[in-house]
Amino acid sequence: MLCPCGSTLSFDACCQLFITQIQKPTTAEQLMRSRFSAYALRNAQYIFDTYGISQQSKQSVTDIQTWADECTWLALVIHESTEDLVEFSAYYIADNTLCELRERSKFTLEKGLWRYIDGEITVNDELAKIKRNELCPCNKYPTAWSAKKNKKFKHCCAR
């Protein structure tokens, strides 16, 4: 299985190493990619654990899980990455609607570990309503980990 983060690596050679804590992310971008993969795989505990310590009190694993479960996460596109900032677009399906969430996320090192602090959402748009017999939108994204070539939506991500 390709990694949900959009790298060309398999999941077990990429973000799984971070999510299972075999390795720790060494950059903010690695943490961002692993958090996206955790959303795609509905691993709310990892997402919670990678918030900054001061931010964890404002979150709950239950709320994170609800958000992850409500969406089918298709693809991640990194627009810019610096030492402590990652600008990305996450494409997902919610209620049969293709959406884009673009965010400039801030990260910090806490006790030697990269943590997500917060982000400024610059785009949160509904791109298209998806009809059951249309080509699944995951086919539009070359990095989509869930793409099933030329499948209709009802036989792909709508399941």
What confidence tens digit (pLDDT) does each residue in 104-139 have? 999 999 999 999 999 999 999 999 999 999 999 988
Q: What integer pLDDT is reported at residue 129 of this predicted model?
A: 97
Q: 3 in a domain, yes or no? A: no
Q: What integer pLDDT is reported at residue 107 of this predicted model?
A: 98
Tell me the residue range of the domain where 61 lies: 11-129
125 to each of 102, 103, 121, 129, 152, how far by Cα in Å? Answer: 9, 12, 11, 12, 23
Q: 69 in a domain, yes or no? A: yes
Q: 55 in a domain, yes or no? A: yes
111 Cβ contact list (under 8 Å, min separation 6): none
Q: 4 in a domain, yes or no? A: no
Query: Looking at the whole model, is its pTM more than 0.85?
Result: yes
Q: What are phi and psi of 27, to 5 degrees?
A: -140, 160
Q: What integer pLDDT is reported at residue 108 of this predicted model?
A: 98
CATH number for the domain spanning 20: value is 3.10.450.50
Q: 156 in a domain, yes or no? A: no
Amino acid type, 101: L
User: Does the pLDDT at position 98 exceed 80?
Assistant: yes
Q: 144 in a domain, yes or no? A: no
- Which two structure tokens, joined as six digits, stand for 68? 């992850």
User: Does the pLDDT at position 147 exceed 60?
Assistant: no
What confidence tens digit (pLDDT) does each residue in 23-73 have? 999 999 999 999 999 999 999 999 999 999 999 999 999 999 999 999 999
Q: 78 in a domain, yes or no? A: yes
CB of 36 closer than 8 Å to CB of 100:
no
Q: What are phi and psi of 154, to 5 degrees?
A: -65, -20
Q: 74 in a domain, yes or no? A: yes
Look at the chain and report how many structural domains it folds into: 1
Q: What integer pLDDT is reported at residue 142 of this predicted model?
A: 72
Question: Distance between CA atoms of 114 and 50, rounded to whole angstroms?
Answer: 8
